[in-house]
Structures are given as structure tokens and as C-alpha cells.
Amino acid sequence: MDFGDSPEEAEFRLRLRRWLVVNDPGLPASSTDDEYWAGMAAWHRSLYDAGFFGLSWPTQIGGHGLSSVFEVIVDEELAAAGAPPRPSLGYLVQGILEHGSEEIKRRFLPGIVNGRDRWCQGFSEPDAGSDLASLRTRADRDGEDYVITGQKIWTSYSDEAEWCLLLARTDPDAAKHRGISAFAVPMRQPGIEQRPLRMINGVTKEFGEVHFDDARVPAANMIGAPGEGWALAMTVVSHEREPGELGYVARYAKTVNQLRRRVRDDPGAYGADQVSELGWAMVEVEMLRLHVRRRLSDRLGGISHGPEGSVDKLLMTWVEQAVGHAALSIGGIGHGGGDETWLNGYLYSRAQSVMGGTSQIQRNLVARRILGLPDS
Amino acid sequence: MDVRLSEEQRALRDAAAQVVDRLGPKAVAQIGEPERGARLHAAVTGSGWRELRVGAEGGGPLASGVEAAIVAEELGRGAADVSFLGPTLAAELRRLAGAPPSSSVETVALDTRLSSLVGGVGGDWPAAVAIDTQGSALALVLTPVGGGSRLAGVALRAAPSGLDLTRPSEVLDPCPPATMVEGADRALTGDDLTRWTALGLSLSCADLVGTMRGAVELACAYAAQRRQYGAAIGSFQAVQHMLADAFVATEGSRSVTLHAAWAVDALPAGEALAAAAVAKAYCGRAARTVCETGIQVHGGIGNTWECLAHVYLRRALLSADLLGDARASLAHVLAHRGIGGTDGLR
């Protein structure tokens, strides 16, 4: 067991550190305003073009074929530099890699990885949140196409996306989990209308709802076999729960560092309870950094799509919300027209226990699939 | 970077697990049973696990902090009533002081808050607590000689006490006279003691991780079997969610603990202690909640002496305080990053 860098890893770390000195785009502190989300696409391409994105993915799709632990080096260096986190789309890549045909992988994955194509994920519906398999959006065969009707909601980046990884019901007579298929749907077409949602912290760029009214998708854009959509969805959400796939450690570490500097520069202004909250946030973030090292090391022997993602999602949620509480406590809530950055960061942290499956769903999965407790 | 256990480390873990499963206590009434206890003690002695930190050629330990942590975790999981942590820390002290390994089991004595190795001079010794005393006749302490801290030993009287039913302590009040350890020619430096503290914190974290695992396993087994309202209580979401949280907190604890155990030998002393402080802050806070969950899931049974759930809680409370509790560790984490002047750890 070795937490240290190999010579190759150390060389990579140093190269990235040097690159970041001149290439940090200087986006806002955390994901609390629209400018941040608008800047992420350019940041993605910049990271990719410099050879610092998609490190552990296959070279055929634009990755670097390196071992999984290079991803955590990226997170750590982005955090140390105060740069934005890497784009969070590993779960899409893993889902398509696992379930797509060679043709599908060749057509779609390079554009996702290099950041030229923006994607969103059309899973949740107004009546299918935690109970995702009850989704009702339909895809009906019509010649060489499928025709899509229905509504998706809480869709991240739906305003920017050129493509949607869509789950739709292709066989209304099949059992709930079996009649679902997955598609790569072009977003820029007359049958699709996208409306932004305003999150509780005021952000409008991240979150949307998407209406499908006789939208069309070629049958050749189906990912996996007809009825394989549920299996693909499970692969995607299991990775959507993994901090190692999402790269959020960098975001948390950056916020904690900013709070630390505030306290260090004016220690008399903060009480023992505030300092203590900062300390716990530091410990939580460090835990997550080390936990990601452990999880990505486990992948050196081959990737699995198991229930461990639910463990990691709960850990990550505790971290983000501890950081949110420290931000609220130390940054303050902007009374009298003050800075609302910290308040907005705190408000955004409340989404972490919902997105990618609520904490309650994750606990169900841990209890049943890891602890082996009986079904109710 | 590869944070997986090596093949040898996995074999060590399996061997320790086997000993604990075969010879550890399965019920509260079995704790301290002379015959089984003697077999467990003999198995641990025969394995050489207490000598992992004995000096090898070149002065380094026979095995790293990771190997010692692997054993500590398994002993904690089984609430093993056998000494390991104290003798391991004693062996580390002997190695650092250049003394030959002890031919008999010995442990260490701490101040009464269990926060650091006790030290004194002449007739002026504070009260002390020898930890993890089973099988030990001597506890190592520090005494200043010629401008440095030298290793000395105090005799134990085999008067076990303390909250942990599986690892007795002995209160030394007043502390008996200390005699110099033969061959302990090197004075212990500040760096030595920093690294020693990092080892002690890491091993107490590993014991906490094991204790949490044991408490969760015990509670899951009970929840699958105990029936109310015509169903196993483990099928109720309220119970499932408590146990899931306990398991997740244990996994986070393991990640910080593995790093701290690795850091003991791989990083400079100050960095090793910083890693240990992160681990102790996290594990110390998690362990009490996890072990309390173990009691809650057992309901009324969990509040009786005969249920093992409180044995895990008691063990966790002791390990949580050893060489610095969560609060002291948190103060160290902050001080290490430039906040607050008072360092919680040595």
C-alpha cells in the first residue's frame, strides 16, 4: 500500500501544477453563480487540449489510457491552485462505454470527452424522481426513427446541451423496469423545448426542464439494446454518485481554503464554534480526498459498477454539507447588502443530498445491497 | 499511488481475522475467561504481531504502521481481550531509544487524561495510567537524564481496572519509582516522540475502525433475526438507515486511518502527526455515534450488561481518548494550517 506518487505520477503532478499557474481561468469561487457555469465549457476544452482531462479513459475515445489514480492527482492539484474542478461527466462516459455498441462509442464518446459536444441527462420526470422506473416519456417507432413525447425535469445543463442521454419507454406492455430504452437525442430540433429552472441560490444556468413534443431520434441512436435502458441508467447513476468520477473534491477544498484564509487573516473576528466548524470541514474534505484515492486505487484491478457508489455519495454529501455549514457560519449570510457568495454556496449544498439519488435512496441501497438487510 | 493492501498485507489481515474469529469472546460472559484468554494470548504471542515495530537491521521497524494497523483493526472488530496496542507502542519506544527488544510483554503508561506518555523525575511523578496491561509486568515511561528524555519502566501490580472490559488499564497513583531501561542509550528527540504519537494515534484509529465494524456487524445480525410486528426489524427503513449511516461513517474512517498508518513511516514526523490528527478527529467523532447505533438497534437487550454492544462502545470510548481525543486532534488540524495557537496534541 502506497499513498505516495510514483515517478511518473510525480512528473505529471508537477507538469499540471506548472500549467495551472498560467491557465487557471479564475472563475468565481464556487458553483454559486451563472458566470461559473457559463465558463465551465471553455475550462473543459482548455483542460482537455492541454492533456489533463479524460486521463483514465481509453485512448480510442480521446482519453489517455492512464491508471485511475491520475484523476485524483488532477483533483488535488486543481484544489491546491484554487482552479475550478474538472467537468463532471465521467458517469455519462462510463454508461456509454459499458452499454453502447462500438459504433455508438465511436460516434459519441470523443465529442463528450473533448468537450466539443455538450450533453445533458434526461432521466428524472415530474412523476419519476426517486422512483425513476415509473418514467412515462414515450419513444414510439416510426420507420427509421423514434418519436418522443413527454417531459424531463431537474436536467443539468439542458440549456447548453447539444445532446441528451434520454431514457424513454419503448415498450409500454413490458414490466416497469424492462420497457425502457436509452437514446442519444439531438437537442436542437423543433420538437424539443428547454426552460431553465431557478435554483434556490438563484442560479439559472445549471438546471432545466425539457419538453418533448413529437421530437425525433434515429433508431441508430439507441444506446444498448431495446429494453436495456434501465441497466444503462443504473450504470450511469452508480458513477454519478462517485466523487472520484465527479471531481468535486477540488471544489470543496477551494471553498475551505478561502474560509481558512478569512479566519487566519482576522482571527479575532471568529468565535470558537465558528473555528470548530471550519476545522470539521477541513477534516471532512481531507477524508474525501483520501477516500477517492482509495476508491480509484481499487479500480486498478478493474472497474466495477456496484453499490459502493452509494457509500461514496453519502460521504460526499456529508462533506459538501459540512463545507456549506462552515461557509454559512464563517462567510455569513450577507445582511445589509453584504456578500452573498457564502450564503449561495450553502444553499447549493442542499442539492447534494437529492441529486443523483436522494440520501434516503442511497441508505436503502447500502442497507440492502451491502449490509444484506431484508427487504421490507 | 496504489492504496490497495498488498498480497502480504491481505494475508496478514486474514490471519488476524482467523485468530480473532476462533479465539475472541463471543459473549460478555466469555470476556476474561482464563482458558480461552490464555489461548488467544498465546496465539497473538506466537504470531509475532506485538513485535511488528521491533527494530530490524538498519534501525527501522520490522513492519510499517500499515501492518500494525491491519492487526489492530481485526482485534478491534472482534473486541479481542488481548494486549496489542500497548506492547506495540512499548516496542516502538525501545527501538527509538536503541534498547534491545523486551523478552517479556510490556506496555506504556500515560498521564491520567491518556493524552501523552507520562514523564517525571526522581520522586516527583504525576499519577499515571498504564494502558492495555494484560500480560505486562512493566510499563514504559520517560525520565529526563542529562538534557534528554530517557526510557524508564515502572512495575505493574496486576490490578486491572477501567471502562474497557477487553483491554484493562492500571491506575498508578502514586506512580511507583521508575528504573532505567537497560540499553536505552539514545535520548528520545522531539521528532521521535512526534512520530511515536503518530503511530499511537493511527493504531487507536485502526482499533476504532475495527470496533465500528464489529458493532455494525453485531447489530446487522441482530436486526436480521429480531422480529416485531411480524417482520425482521432490519426490514424497517428507520433501522436500515441508521445502520447504513453507521457503515458509511466506518468506511470514511477507514480511508483516513489507512493514510495515517502509511504516513507514520513514509512522511516527515510533523506531516505524519498531521495525518494522524485528521484520522483521529474523524474516527473519534464517528466511533461514538456508530457504537451508540449498535446499542439502539438492540433495543432493550442493548441496554443490558450481557449484550456485546456496550463492550464495543466502551472499547471505542477508550481508543477515542488515547493520545488525543477528537477535540484535541481538531485543534491540531487547525494549528497545522495556521489557525489557533494552541496545539491540541504533543
Q: How many folded domains does chain B comprise?
A: 1
Measured between CB atoms, does B225 come within 8 Å of chain A?
A: no
pLDDT (average), residues A348-372? 95
**Distance from the B32 Cα atom to the nearest Cα atom in chain A, whole angstroms:** 30
Q: Is residue A198 part of a domain?
A: yes
Contact in structure between A349 and A320 (CB atoms under 8 Å)? yes
Contacts for B307 with CB less than 8 Å, ≥ 6 apart:
B28, B295, B298, B301
Q: Is residue A102 part of a domain?
A: no
Please check whether residues A285 and A336 belong to one and the same domain.
yes
Please check whether residues A15 and A73 belong to one and the same domain.
yes
Q: Is residue B209 part of a domain?
A: yes
Please check whether residues A262 and A352 belong to one and the same domain.
yes
The verdict on a CB contact (< 8 Å) between B3 and A263 is no
DSSP code, position B313: H
A 298-317 residues inside an 8 A Cβ radius of B: 298, 300-301, 311, 314-315
Q: Is residue B143 part of a domain?
A: no
Please check whether residues A219 and A242 belong to one and the same domain.
no
**Distance from the A215 Cα atom to the nearest Cα atom in chain B, whole angstroms:** 40
**Residue A119, amino acid:** W
- CA-to-CA dists, residue A251 to A28, A310, B146, angstroms: 11, 20, 52
pLDDT in tens, A235-258: 998 888 887 777 888 889 989 999
Measured between CB atoms, does B2 come within 8 Å of chain A?
A: yes
Q: Is residue B20 part of a domain?
A: no
DSSP code, position B181: P
pLDDT (average), residues A131-150? 97
pLDDT for res A24 = 84
pLDDT band at A27; cut points 50, 70, 90: confident
Measured between CB atoms, does B3 come within 8 Å of chain A?
A: yes
Q: How many residues does this entry show for chain A?
A: 376
Is-catalytic flag, A76?
A: no
For cell 437514446, the residue is A183
Q: Is residue A109 part of a domain?
A: no
pLDDT for res A251 = 87
pLDDT for res A157 = 85
Beta bridge mates, A115: none
Report the residue of chain B nearest A301, measured CA to CA.
B4
Contacts for B28 with CB less than 8 Å, ≥ 6 apart:
B165, B305, B306, B307, B308, B311
Contacts for B229 with CB less than 8 Å, ≥ 6 apart:
none
**Residue B50, amino acid:** R
Q: Is residue A104 part of a domain?
A: no
Cβ-count burial of A175 within 10 angstroms (0-12 exposed, 13-18 middle, 19+ buried)? Answer: exposed
- CA-to-CA dists, residue A95 to A70, A104, A244, A265, A309, angstroms: 20, 12, 15, 46, 14
pLDDT for res A84 = 87
Please check whether residues A215 and A296 belong to one and the same domain.
no
**Residue A262, amino acid:** R
Q: Is residue B29 part of a domain?
A: no
Cα torsion at A40, A253, A257, A275 (round to 10°)?
Answer: 140
Which 3-state string (H, E, C) describes chain A?
Answer: CECCCCHHHHHHHHHHHHHHHHHCCCCCCCCCCHHHHHHHHHHHHHHHHCCCCCCCCCHHHCCCCCCCHHHHHHHHHHHHHCCCCCCCCHHHHHHHHHHCCHHHHHHHHHHHHHCCCCEEEECCECCECCCHHHCCCEEEEECCEEEEEEEEEEEECCCCCCEEEEEEECCCCCCCCCCEEEEEEECCCCCEEEEEECCCCCCCCCEEEEEEEEEEEEHHHEECCCCCHHHHHHHHHHHHCCHHHHCCHHHHHHHHHHHHHHHHHCHHHCCHHHHHHHHHHHHHHHHHHHHHHHHHHHHHHCCCCCCHHHHHHHHHHHHHHHHHHHHHHHHCCCHHHCCCHHHHHHHHHHHHHCCCCCHHHHHHHHHHHHCCCCCC
Q: Is residue A105 part of a domain?
A: no
Report the residue of chain A nearest B7, measured CA to CA.
A1
- CA-to-CA dists, residue A286 to A79, A236, A252, B265, angstroms: 11, 26, 10, 20
d(C-alpha A293, C-alpha B48), whole Å: 31
d(C-alpha A174, C-alpha A178), whole Å: 6
DSSP code, position B49: G
Contact in structure between A206 and A159 (CB atoms under 8 Å)? no
pLDDT for res A168 = 98
Contact in structure between B81 and B294 (CB atoms under 8 Å)? no
Measured between CB atoms, does B341 come within 8 Å of chain A?
A: no
d(C-alpha B321, C-alpha B162), whole Å: 13
pLDDT for res B297 = 98
Please check whether residues A202 and A245 belong to one and the same domain.
no
A171 pLDDT exceeds 70? yes
pLDDT for res A39 = 83
Grid cell at residue A365: 441501497
Contacts for A141 with CB less than 8 Å, ≥ 6 apart:
A170, A219
The verdict on a CB contact (< 8 Å) between B1 and A297 is yes
**Residue B334, amino acid:** L
Please check whether residues A158 and A283 belong to one and the same domain.
no
**Distance from the B145 Cα atom to the nearest Cα atom in chain A, whole angstroms:** 38
pLDDT for res A241 = 83
pLDDT for res A360 = 97
Beta bridge mates, A186: A163
Contact in structure between B306 and B248 (CB atoms under 8 Å)? no
Q: How many residues does this entry show for chain B?
A: 346
pLDDT in tens, A199-215: 998 888 788 999 999 99
| Mode of pairing for the β-strands spanning A163-169 and A119-122 | parallel
Please check whether residues A365 and A240 belong to one and the same domain.
yes
Please check whether residues A59 and A126 belong to one and the same domain.
no
d(C-alpha B297, C-alpha B263), whole Å: 36
Grid cell at residue A217: 431520434
pLDDT band at A119; cut points 50, 70, 90: very high
B 84-113 residues inside an 8 A Cβ radius of A: none
Please check whether residues A157 and A211 belong to one and the same domain.
yes
pLDDT in tens, B141-169: 999 887 788 999 999 998 888 899 999 99
User: Residue B340 is nearest to which of A275, A287, A311, comparing CB atoms?
Assistant: A275
Q: Is residue B212 part of a domain?
A: yes
Q: Which of B84, B187, B255, B60 is nearest to A311 (CA)?
A: B255
Grid cell at residue B167: 483491554
pLDDT in tens, A44-90: 999 999 999 999 999 999 999 999 999 999 999 998 898 888 888 88
pTM of structure:
0.95
CATH number at residue B291: 1.20.140.10
- CA-to-CA dists, residue A52 to A11, A27, A86, A118, A304, angstroms: 13, 18, 9, 18, 24
Q: How many folded domains does chain A comprise?
A: 3
DSSP code, position B29: G
Q: Which of B240, B267, B332, B337 to mutate to test the interface with A (most CBs of A within 10 A)?
A: B240
Please check whether residues A205 and A251 belong to one and the same domain.
no
Q: Which of A125, A240, A242, A308 is catalytic?
A: A240
d(C-alpha B37, C-alpha B23), whole Å: 8
Cβ-Cβ contacts under 8 Å, B232 against chain A: 373-374
A38 pLDDT exceeds 80? no
CATH number at residue A317: 1.20.140.10
Grid cell at residue B294: 449498535
Contact in structure between A293 and B1 (CB atoms under 8 Å)? yes
A 80-139 residues inside an 8 A Cβ radius of B: none
Contacts for B198 with CB less than 8 Å, ≥ 6 apart:
B65, B260, B263, B264, B269, B272, B273, B275, B276
Number of Cβ pairs < 8 A linking chain A and chain B: 154
Contact in structure between A313 and A341 (CB atoms under 8 Å)? no
**Distance from the A290 Cα atom to the nearest Cα atom in chain B, whole angstroms:** 6
- CA-to-CA dists, residue A292 to A3, A199, A242, A243, B28, angstroms: 12, 28, 8, 7, 38
The end-to-end CA distance of chain B, in Å, is: 30
Report the residue of chain A nearest B338, measured CA to CA.
A264
Cβ-Cβ contacts under 8 Å, A360 against chain B: 237, 241
Q: Is residue B198 part of a domain?
A: yes
d(C-alpha A199, C-alpha A208), whole Å: 9
CATH number at residue A155: 2.40.110.10
**Distance from the A285 Cα atom to the nearest Cα atom in chain B, whole angstroms:** 10
Q: Is residue A328 part of a domain?
A: yes
Domain that holds residue A18: 7-97
Please check whether residues A150 and A270 belong to one and the same domain.
no
Measured between CB atoms, does B281 come within 8 Å of chain A?
A: yes
pLDDT for res A243 = 79
pLDDT for res B341 = 73
d(C-alpha B203, C-alpha B66), whole Å: 9
The verdict on a CB contact (< 8 Å) between A282 and B338 is no
- Return mean pLDDT, chain A: 92
Domain that holds residue B267: 191-336
pLDDT for res A28 = 65
The residues of chain B scoring below 50 in pLDDT are none
pLDDT in tens, A294-335: 999 998 888 777 899 999 999 999 999 999 999 999 988 877
Grid cell at residue A103: 459504433
Beta-carbon neighbour count of residue A300 at 10 Å? 15
**Distance from the A324 Cα atom to the nearest Cα atom in chain B, whole angstroms:** 18
User: Residue B3 is nearest to which of A264, A293, A360, comparing CB atoms?
Assistant: A293
pLDDT band at A3; cut points 50, 70, 90: very high
pLDDT for res B234 = 98
Q: Is residue B40 part of a domain?
A: no
Cα torsion at A3, B57, B100, B276 (round to 10°)?
Answer: -10
Cβ-Cβ contacts under 8 Å, A276 against chain B: 330
pLDDT (average), residues A165-173? 97
Measured between CB atoms, does B70 come within 8 Å of chain A?
A: no
Q: Is residue B42 part of a domain?
A: no
A337 pLDDT exceeds 70? no
Cβ-Cβ contacts under 8 Å, A371 against chain B: 216, 220, 240, 243-244, 247
pLDDT for res A32 = 61
Q: Which of B73, B69, B74, B116 is nearest to B88 (CA)?
A: B69
The verdict on a CB contact (< 8 Å) between A1 and B1 is no
pLDDT for res A82 = 86
